Amino acid sequence: MGKKRVPLLLILLTLFWVSNSSLTYAAETNLENQKIVDLRILETTDLHASLLNYDYYQTKKDNRVGLVKTATLIREARNEVKNSLLFDDGDHLKGNPLGEYLARIRGMHKGKTHPVYRAFNYLQYDAIAIGNHEFNYGVGFLKTALKGLNMPVLNANVYSVKKNKPFFTPYVILKRIVVDRSGVQHELKIGVIGFMPTQIMKWDKANLEGKVIAKPIVETAKDFVPIMKAEGADLIIALAHTGISSEPYNPDTENAVYYLTKIPEIDAILAGHSHSVFPGPVFSNLPNTNLETGQINGKPVVMAGAFGNHLGMIDLQLAKAEDKWKVLSSTSLTRPIADENGKSLVKTDKGLYKLVKPEHEETVDFIKKLGL
């Protein structure tokens, strides 16, 4: 009898251990999921007033450009996840005949909202950065246009000469309720800061001299990031209207993203200015760069081309431990609105098209009257 009981006892103990281990694993997994938040960060950049899928120079439809197309990608990307943020990285007011017509012919009038900013309001951007081309029509025009926006407008390295303070809001800490993998809600404090090249003082000297000065990008970041952390930012995102290059850094480096990635407290960088696509093959020789995950020096970076031709996306996995959030992993990628042959890959956002159609038609009519 004793010999028969031993195997039976071993079987029972084994079953108990397996069952208990499974329960423990399930509990640990569930505990992890409760603390992990998946956060998607979306970017448009260098739109250059390309609201419609239209080529004003050839007066015909062009499905390779247009925020009305990118908007569909934005909606799809948002619907795929529980938590998302949307930002624009600058250079959105000037760059095509629509932008020129609105600034130089029709002008900005009190109480009117620029169609680019009407589009941003419609799509509910969380914040936008100012790019160098926003100054091209003068400071007065820009100030008037910005009054129509419903979200923070950011830049940290352009300073008022008169006040010796940032000309724009340098950063914002967005408080957002996010949902973790188990459905539990958390408040996340997201610090967002903006930058642009110092070369604006040369490019727009006539508009800016005596009014503003531009400070070096990386040095400015190092000044403000600790302040953002001290104010409780759990996560810091840089809206960096500057390109990507590993050439030796100096205070007037135009393309400074590579060196922003070396600032430990910055968690993600949305790049722009150079109209490139990152991750992409043009950056295959960039040091310490992983094009599969979209990381430079271990930091997630994305650059979404120009004219709305791509939507930029960074997916972060955040974990909370001891009341602090940290990035567990990240993936960066871009989604195009058209294939290499210009064939549209997405439908037009009809609501946005209707919203910006009046100014588009005004521009087309004006071009026709000029006989162009």
Q: Where are the domains of the chain?
A: 38-370
Label residue 26 by pLDDT band (50, 70, 90).
Answer: very low
Query: Looking at residue 179, what is its pLDDT?
Result: 97
| Prior bond of 152 cis (ω within 30°) | no
Taking 90 as the threshold, does the pLDDT of residue 208 lie above it? yes
Closest CA to 274 of 205, 185, 199: 199
Convert the pLDDT of each residue in 284-342 to its tens digit. Answer: 999 999 999 999 999 999 999 999 999 999 999 999 988 899 999 999 999 999 999 99
Nearest-angstrom CA–CA distance, 155 and 169: 6
Average pLDDT (75-80) is 98
| DSSP annotation string for 39-68 | EEEEEE---TT--SSEETTTTEE-TTS-HH
Taking 50 as the threshold, does the pLDDT of residue 68 lie above it? yes
Average pLDDT (177-184) is 96
Label residue 108 by pLDDT band (50, 70, 90).
Answer: confident
Query: Looking at residue 110, what is its pLDDT?
Result: 72
pTM: 0.91
Closest CA to 56 of 99, 112, 118, 7: 99
Label residue 23 by pLDDT band (50, 70, 90).
Answer: very low
The gap from C-alpha 22 to its chain's centroid, in whole angstroms, comes to 41
Label residue 111 by pLDDT band (50, 70, 90).
Answer: confident
What DSSP element (H or E) covers 217?
A: helix 217-230
Taking 80 as the threshold, does the pLDDT of residue 8 lie above it? no
Query: Dihedrals φ, ψ of 111, to 5°?
Result: 90, -10
Label residue 204 by pLDDT band (50, 70, 90).
Answer: very high
Average pLDDT (210-236) is 98
Label residue 5 by pLDDT band (50, 70, 90).
Answer: low
Average pLDDT (47-62) is 96
CA atoms within 13 A on the CB side of 364: 13
Query: Looking at residue 13, what is its pLDDT?
Result: 46
The residue behind tokens 């239209």 is: 54
Taking 80 as the threshold, does the pLDDT of residue 176 lie above it? yes
| DSSP annotation string for 138-180 | -HHHHHHHHTT-SS-EE-SSEEETTTSSBSSB-EEEEEEEEE-
Q: What value does the mean pLDDT of the chain take?
A: 92
Convert the pLDDT of each residue in 239-268 to its tens digit. Answer: 999 999 999 999 999 999 999 999 999 999
Query: Looking at residue 35, what is its pLDDT?
Result: 84
Nearest-angstrom CA–CA distance, 17 and 168: 62
Determine what percent of the chain is predicted with pLDDT higher than 70. 91
Label residue 34 by pLDDT band (50, 70, 90).
Answer: low
Query: Looking at residue 7, what is its pLDDT?
Result: 54
**Which tops the pLDDT comparison, 35 or 56?**
56
Taking 90 as the threshold, does the pLDDT of residue 124 lie above it? yes
**CATH code matching the domain that covers 38-370, chosen among 3.40.50.720, 3.30.360.10, 3.60.21.10, 3.90.1150.10:** 3.60.21.10
